[in-house]
Amino acid sequence: MRAFFLDRYAKKATLRLSEAAEPRVGDKDVLVEVHAAGLNLLDSKIRDGAFKPILPYKTPLVLGHDVAGKVVRVGAAVRRFKVGDEVYSRPRDGRIGTFADYIAIAEDDVALKPRNLSMEEAAGVPLTALTAWQVLVDRAGLKPGQKVLIHAGSGGVGILAIQLAKHLGASVATTVSAAGADLVRRLGADVVVDYKAEDFTQLLSSYDVVLNSLDDKTLERSLTVLKPGAKLISISGPPDPAFAKAQGLNWIVRQIIGWSSRRVRAAAKARQVDYGFVFMRTDGEQLSRITTLIEAGDIRPVLDRVFPFEELNAALAYIETGRAKGKVVVSLKPLG
């Protein structure tokens, strides 16, 4: 089979297209023929070596965290899926590798693909949708009538987070460039802030939740729009000690992580705000619930661009420009 390999960690490293052995299928695995794979900045960050302390993968490594495809083999203990099922997934850490013709995935990490999505649309959903769910539902416990600020609303996570927050009954503010304003309004955003021309800290106040995916400066400034008892949740860091403990990281790494987040945690405590870092975990059951919302029309993915599989390196370069409005995927099958 074909696969794109990362031979060594390096910024802007070029992935190598080569032949690879077909994955081994365990008793509780399904073998998925990849039809489309979603790209995420996480792929670029791992390639650059930014996550080595947290995700110490050995090279050569096949990247890729999102997949939509068809089940072609099932392990002896698999009960929820059969050959021919159309599925999608965010494979768990340690078993990534969707930039290939086939991938073996644990049954618990897989869900049936939404019937109303193409393979390309579905491939852009799992990581971003699970991130939005775990921030807004699991961590924030977002309730009807609450106010949430979602930074970078036209990005992959932002697009689905806006829709999920509206489904949960919240009032949504978001920061975007002028080019993304119409998109986020169509998705349901109540307040749209042009971050290039406006200061969100001067326009927003008394919010219950902030979802941050931007830099540390934006993270700390977001504290000023939150009311006491509110929650500041970041998916871009810095990680907090609770995350380090949950990951089972060694003592030295835990100390480094605690030190890196000390400033924002102290600032949050001074304002009586709960700061937390969320690093998405795979969950097939949650993904099935997301499938239900997609099929009901409550949330929908937005595709920015589909690249042929052979142009994966160009696709990675494109998402790193920050210009994408929605998800970028590569297709391994001829486009209709």
* pLDDT tens, residue order, the chain (336 aa): 999 999 999 999 999 999 999 999 999 999 999 999 999 999 999 999 988 888 889 999 999 999 999 999 999 999 999 999 999 999 999 999 999 999 999 999 999 999 999 999 999 999 999 999 999 999 999 999 999 999 999 999 999 999 999 999 999 999 999 999 999 999 999 999 999 999 999 999 999 999 999 999 999 999 999 999 999 999 998 887 787 777 777 777 788 777 888 999 999 999 999 999 999 999 999 999 999 999 999 999 999 999 999 999 999 999 999 889 999 999 999 875
Asked whether residue 291 is assigned to any structural domain, the reply reads no
Beta strand segments in the chain, E: 2-6, 16-19, 29-38, 61-62, 67-74, 86-89, 102-106, 110-112, 147-150, 171-176, 191-194, 207-212, 226-234, 274-277, 303-308, 327-331
Do 92 and 175 sit in the same domain of this protein?
A: no
Q: The domain spanning residue 214 has which CATH number? A: 3.40.50.720
Exposed, middle or buried by CB within 10 Å (0-12, 13-18, 19+), for 298?
Answer: middle
Give the Cβ contact number of residue 169 at 10 Å: 11
Asked whether residue 218 is assigned to any structural domain, the reply reads yes
Strands 86-89 and 110-112: antiparallel
Q: The domain spanning residue 101 has which CATH number? A: 3.90.180.10
Do 102 and 203 sit in the same domain of this protein?
A: no
Give the Cβ contact number of residue 292 at 10 Å: 11
Indicate the DSSP class of residue 100: B
- Give the sign of the dihedral formed by CA 329, CA 303, CA 90, CA 231: positive
Radius of gyration of the chain (CA): 20
Asked whether residue 283 is assigned to any structural domain, the reply reads no
User: 3-class DSSP state for residue 157?
Assistant: helix
Q: What is the pLDDT of residue 253?
A: 77
Asked whether residue 282 is assigned to any structural domain, the reply reads no
Do 178 and 154 sit in the same domain of this protein?
A: yes
Max intra-chain CA distance, the chain:
59
Asked whether residue 336 is assigned to any structural domain, the reply reads no
Do 144 and 261 sit in the same domain of this protein?
A: yes
User: 3-class DSSP state for residue 48?
Assistant: helix
State CA 107 to chain mean position distance.
20
Do 78 and 114 sit in the same domain of this protein?
A: yes
Do 104 and 15 sit in the same domain of this protein?
A: yes
Query: Which domain covers residue 257, as residue numbers?
Result: 127-277
Do 139 and 113 sit in the same domain of this protein?
A: no
Do 94 and 206 sit in the same domain of this protein?
A: no
- Give the sign of the dihedral formed by CA 296, CA 299, CA 301, CA 302: positive
Using CA atoms, how far apart are residues 121 and 311, in angstroms rounded to an integer?
A: 18
Do 60 and 132 sit in the same domain of this protein?
A: no
Using CA atoms, how far apart are residues 123 and 35, in angstroms rounded to an integer?
A: 8
Q: What is the pLDDT of residue 81?
A: 98
Residue 238, preceding peptide bond in cis (omega within 30° of 0): yes
Domain count, the chain: 2
Domain end, chosen from 261, 277, 293, is at 277
Helix spans in the chain (H): 41-48, 119-123, 126-133, 156-167, 181-187, 200-203, 216-222, 241-246, 251-260, 262-270, 284-295, 312-320
Asked whether residue 288 is assigned to any structural domain, the reply reads no
Asked whether residue 293 is assigned to any structural domain, the reply reads no
Q: Per DSSP, what are the bridge partners of residue 151? A: none
Do 68 and 179 sit in the same domain of this protein?
A: no
Query: What tokens were used for 108?
Result: 């618990």
Asked whether residue 287 is assigned to any structural domain, the reply reads no
Do 162 and 95 sit in the same domain of this protein?
A: no
Do 135 and 115 sit in the same domain of this protein?
A: no
Using CA atoms, how far apart are residues 141 and 195, in angstroms rounded to an integer?
A: 27
